[in-house]
Amino acid sequence: MHPYLLLSIAIVGEVSATTALKLSENFSRLVPSVVVVVGYVVAFGVLSKLLKDGFPVGVAYAIWAAAGIAAVALIGALFLGEPINWTMAGGLLLVIGGVVMLELGRAH
């Protein structure tokens, strides 16, 4: 399977789990609690396979973490009523920019 497809699956698992963690209300709601466990198992399992297959750990973790941060922040703002301002948006862009630079540096 293509490494970036695996990385995308790991990101979706992590974002789903993190979002469900908020919705689980301290693990008092069953369905979100199950999504937390399944999401993190998928995320770490797929990320582990990706690393075993030789994908660089620094790049994989940077992309995984930055995409997760950005996606969870957007989900929080759009669907969970959490505040976001221009300073926070700028920070997210810097995180994403840093990951892009890591990937570009890997190409050399």
The yes-or-no verdict on residue 108 having pLDDT over 70 is: no
Helices (H), 1-108: 3-23, 30-52, 57-79, 86-106
pLDDT, residue 106, reads 73
Q: How far is CA 2 from CA 7, 31, 50, 98, 103, in A?
A: 9, 31, 9, 23, 16
pLDDT, residue 26, reads 96
Q: What is the residue extent of each domain of the chain?
A: 3-106
Query: pLDDT exceeding 70 applies to what percent of the chain?
Result: 98
pLDDT digits (tens, 9 = 90+) for 27-37: 999 999 999 99
